Chains A and B, each alone.
Chain A
Amino acid sequence: MRALQAEGVKTIFGYPGGSIMPTYDALFDYTRGEKKCFDHILVRHEQGAVHAAEGYARVSGEVGVALVTSGPGATNTLTGVADAMLDSTPIVVIAGQVAIGALGTDAFQEVDLVGVAQPISKWSYQIRHADDVAWAVSRAFYIARTGRPGPVVLDFPRNAQVEEIDWEPKKVDFVRSYVPYPKLDNEAVRQAAELINNAKRPLALVGQGVELGNAQEELKTFLEKADIPAGRTMLGLSALPSDHPLNMGMLGMHGNYAVNLKEQECDVLIAIGMRFSDRVTGNLKTYAKQAKIIHLDIDRSEIDKCVKTDVAVIADCKESLPVLTALLNTTKHSEWRESFKDLDQKEREKVIEPAIHPTEGPLRMGEVVNAVAEKAPRGTVLVTDVGQNQLFATRYFKYPEKRSICTSGGLGTMGYGMPAAIGATFATDRTVCCFMGDGGFQMCIEELGTIMEQQAPVKMILMNNHYLGNVRQWQDMFWMRRKSFTKMMNPNYELIAQGYGIPYQAVTDRKDLKQAIEKMLATKGPYILECAIMEEDNVLPMTPPGMNVNDMMLEI
């Protein structure tokens, strides 16, 4: 407890069980009365604890903490750990373990957590004795939050929880084998500046690294000085405000049309804190071959992993961006920027308008997201689940403030949304809107219990189309319309909301939508707004998997 306190932990998401009972017993005193320094949020499933810790971390910028028991408690966290690894989210998972004397004997609720967590965590470690606690916990937080952040797993055998020692605080701020902030190579910066200064059609790709490095302002100054249009990755959506004139939209398979096509036209591509995910690049063989590639990243192993770079600047972008900006000529690329407009207009006519302002037929996801985005207070945090709901929500929501997006990008974890939104409400007083489909809503539906108990003010927008919509869209497009197990029988969500005592409203008619959203936003505490969505709504535009980004389709 004292080790967690020393790391500034305020909120713990957890679920007790046999081998973590000694820790939970100690926690009891630290969550009430004189000693109180933590809030413990009892979740309903350990996966929920980790996603909540992720949501908390993403919005607050602090390390999220999950506390669980051994065996199934520990294995239930693994989806969240892998999710946090792929999305560079700083969390620490502390799991109970059988006493070290029983390790390897297949004792009750024993699982080799360190072994299974190693490939999906930034660091995992077994705390075998009490005198190891202070060091290991401090090291865990140091590793989770520094450099490229990520999940750390601590396996905490029962004997180490009950051994009595004299408390000796330890603060780890150095690990000799780990270089979280590589030294900036000024020669690389100079080469990058030269490329940018000579560029006629520069394009920046902005990723979550900018948010993680807290370099949103440095990014703006950089882009503005050399007048560089920028696309954002899904995780980097709030790294550059959506109303910024140089923001050209979202990258990727379902991102914006112009910026995707322009990746194939630019002469210098500047990737900042992003990792060239296959969802962004499409076919690597044809991706941005005409361009010189500059890659700014804190993680050396990302350089040349997917796209060969001409200049790599390996450093924290908070440090590298200002140095690079200083070497840039103040310039204008008006013609290049203007050239995005025709394509934007095309997308607006063919895709955006029909999606957000349809006039007939059942409700569509785009219009629901757009209507919420228009009514929600400035700075609202968007949380999404995974699938069509995520793609529509990320496309049509607005991000004027930093740290405004929680979504499962790399792992694409259905069920992420609801618990991550719970975590987000403990990190901020801003409004938290969580868009989910009927599939993902049911994948961590048990967390409605946590929302009820905590009265966590999650505004849940359930976009129900009775389908696993994204898979259904792919089946229609690439699998001869054979809808193999994507149609879903749903429960009566109103009764479920009643069961949990959560205010609920359903919208089936377009004319009721705005009023329903206003009511949801005006209601204190949690809320479920169920929208009856057109069954076969498709997310567009789309670059079919493995195709070239310039083959992006505006219609099917």
Chain B
Amino acid sequence: MMCEERSKMKEETKKLYTLLVYSENIAGILNQITAVFTRRQVNIESLNVSASSIEGVHKYTITAWSDADQIEKITRQIEKKIDVVKANYFTDEQLFIRESGLYKLSTEKVLQNPDISRTIRRHEASIMEVNPTYTVVMKNGKTEDILNLYYALNEFDCVFQYTRSGRIAVTRAKQEQVSEFLEEREQKH
């Protein structure tokens, strides 16, 4: 965890950027990407890797606190890796963003206190499973929505476990921005 002073400084000069990176499906690329962050001592806040809508191409969604200058350099150095197809960075306004939160609650407490169920409904979260011991709740949304539900549930002292996923995002542009690039490259070849 960052110390308070650092976080404060971070808020003043830095922004949360989202990098969308597309790569070939070759072992070891994640290592190469994270090494670019490590070298500049930038912490990755969240990271999601999965197959993209283009066959054989993987998509990485990475968030990190940085400034425009630094994130530009990081992005270019990631894109320079041979098997990275494209790398671009975005601010939140340029993206549709979602994250998921899972909350494992004590069923006993949920039954004892109806406010817990009300809170779950009010936050538009859904109940995934209930058994005599625990209840699993899921919430999709932005970071703060998921955190807010966690804080609210925590007030009732009913949370066994809690986890939040990395961010996934799509750009506001029509297509995956990488498909045009690949088409153009293949055509030239």
A and B associate in one complex: yes
Complex: A174 Cα to B28 Cα, angstroms: 21
* Chain A positions within 8 Å of B28 at CB level: 114-115, 118
Encode contact with B along A202-219: 1 for CB under 8 Å, 0 otherwise. Answer: 000000000000000000
| Beta-carbon contact of A122 and B72 below 8 Å | no
Residue of A nearest to B72 (CB): A304
Complex: A114 Cα to B28 Cα, angstroms: 8
Q: Interface on chain B toward A: helix, strand, loop, or mixed SS?
A: helix
| Interface: A336 (CB within 8 A) | no
Q: Which chain A residues numbered 156 to 178 have a C-beta less than 8 Å away from chain B?
A: 174-178
CB-CB under 8 A for A301 and B76, given A174-B189, A176-B186, A176-B189? yes
Complex: A178 Cα to B82 Cα, angstroms: 5
| Beta-carbon contact of B31 and A301 below 8 Å | no
* Chain A positions within 8 Å of B32 at CB level: 118-119
Residue of A nearest to B186 (CB): A176
Complex: A191 Cα to B189 Cα, angstroms: 30
| Interface: B51 (CB within 8 A) | no
Whole-angstrom distance from the CB of B99 to the nearest CB of chain A?
28
Question: Which residue from A115, A123, A143, A301 sits with its C-beta under 8 Å from B77?
Answer: A301
Whole-angstrom distance from the CB of A304 to the nearest CB of chain B?
7
CB-CB under 8 A for A175 and B82, given A300-B76, A301-B73? yes
| Beta-carbon contact of A177 and B73 below 8 Å | no
* Chain A positions within 8 Å of B185 at CB level: 176, 179
| Interface: A305 (CB within 8 A) | yes
| Beta-carbon contact of A118 and B182 below 8 Å | no
Residue of A nearest to B73 (CB): A305
Complex: A123 Cα to B84 Cα, angstroms: 11
* Chain A positions within 8 Å of B85 at CB level: 176-177
| Interface: B83 (CB within 8 A) | yes
Whole-angstrom distance from the CB of B38 to the nearest CB of chain A?
9
Encode contact with A along B9-36: 1 for CB under 8 Å, 0 otherwise. Answer: 0000000000000011000100110010
| Interface: B174 (CB within 8 A) | no
| Beta-carbon contact of A119 and B73 below 8 Å | no
Q: Which chain B residues numbered 57 to 116 have a C-beta less than 8 Å away from chain A?
A: 69, 72-73, 76-77, 79-80, 82-85
Q: Which chain A residues numbered 10 to 30 have a C-beta less than 8 Å away from chain B?
A: none
* Chain B positions within 8 Å of A301 at CB level: 73, 76-77, 79-80
Complex: A189 Cα to B82 Cα, angstroms: 27
Question: Which residue from A115, A174, A300, A304 sits with its C-beta under 8 Å from B31?
Answer: A115
Q: Which chain A residues numbered 285 to 326 have a C-beta less than 8 Å away from chain B?
A: 299-301, 303-305
Question: Which residue from B82, B84, B189 sits with its C-beta under 8 Å from A122?
Answer: B82
| Interface: B39 (CB within 8 A) | yes
Complex: A299 Cα to B81 Cα, angstroms: 12
Complex: A123 Cα to B24 Cα, angstroms: 13
| Beta-carbon contact of A177 and B39 below 8 Å | no
Whole-angstrom distance from the CB of B140 to the nearest CB of chain A?
32
* Chain A positions within 8 Å of B24 at CB level: 177
Complex: A143 Cα to B80 Cα, angstroms: 12
Residue of A nearest to B69 (CB): A304
* Chain A positions within 8 Å of B23 at CB level: 177
Residue of A nearest to B80 (CB): A301
Complex: A179 Cα to B186 Cα, angstroms: 12
Complex: A303 Cα to B73 Cα, angstroms: 9
* Chain B positions within 8 Å of A118 at CB level: 28, 31-32, 35
Question: Which residue from B72, B77, B82 sits with its C-beta under 8 Å from A177?
Answer: B82
* Chain A positions within 8 Å of B35 at CB level: 118-119
* Chain A positions within 8 Å of B82 at CB level: 122-123, 143, 175, 177-178
Question: Which residue from B31, B76, B182 sits with its C-beta under 8 Å from A176?
Answer: B182
Complex: A113 Cα to B72 Cα, angstroms: 29
Complex: A114 Cα to B32 Cα, angstroms: 11
Complex: A32 Cα to B147 Cα, angstroms: 71
* Chain A positions within 8 Å of B76 at CB level: 300-301, 303
Complex: A115 Cα to B69 Cα, angstroms: 29
* Chain B positions within 8 Å of A122 at CB level: 82
Whole-angstrom distance from the CB of A175 to the nearest CB of chain B?
7
Q: Which chain B residues numbered 99 to 156 have a C-beta less than 8 Å away from chain A?
A: none
Complex: A50 Cα to B31 Cα, angstroms: 25
Complex: A300 Cα to B86 Cα, angstroms: 13
| Beta-carbon contact of B80 and A299 below 8 Å | yes
Whole-angstrom distance from the CB of A301 to the nearest CB of chain B?
4
Whole-angstrom distance from the CB of A41 to the nearest CB of chain B?
28
Complex: A123 Cα to B80 Cα, angstroms: 10
Complex: A179 Cα to B77 Cα, angstroms: 14
Complex: A222 Cα to B69 Cα, angstroms: 32
Complex: A122 Cα to B31 Cα, angstroms: 14
* Chain B positions within 8 Å of A119 at CB level: 32, 35, 39
Complex: A122 Cα to B77 Cα, angstroms: 11
Whole-angstrom distance from the CB of A456 to the nearest CB of chain B?
34
* Chain A positions within 8 Å of B83 at CB level: 123, 177-178
| Beta-carbon contact of B186 and A177 below 8 Å | no
Whole-angstrom distance from the CB of A84 to the nearest CB of chain B?
15
Whole-angstrom distance from the CB of B60 to the nearest CB of chain A?
13
Encode contact with A along B171-189: 1 for CB under 8 Å, 0 otherwise. Answer: 0000000000010011001
Whole-angstrom distance from the CB of B177 to the nearest CB of chain A?
14
* Chain A positions within 8 Å of B39 at CB level: 119
Whole-angstrom distance from the CB of B117 to the nearest CB of chain A?
49
A-B contact pairs, 17 of them (CB 8 A): A114-B28, A115-B28, A115-B31, A118-B32, A119-B32, A122-B82, A123-B82, A123-B83, A176-B185, A176-B186, A177-B85, A178-B83, A301-B73, A301-B76, A303-B76, A304-B73, A305-B73
Q: Report, nearest first, the 7 A-B pairs whose CB atoms are least far apart.
A: A301-B76, A177-B85, A174-B189, A123-B82, A176-B185, A301-B80, A119-B35
Residues of A within 8 A of B (CB): 114-115, 118-119, 122-123, 143, 174-179, 299-301, 303-305
Taking A177-B83, A178-B83 as known contacts, 20 extra A-B pairs with beta carbons closer than 8 A to each other, sorted by chain A number, are A119-B32, A119-B35, A119-B39, A122-B82, A123-B82, A123-B83, A176-B85, A176-B185, A176-B189, A177-B23, A177-B24, A177-B84, A177-B85, A178-B82, A179-B185, A300-B80, A301-B73, A301-B79, A301-B80, A303-B76
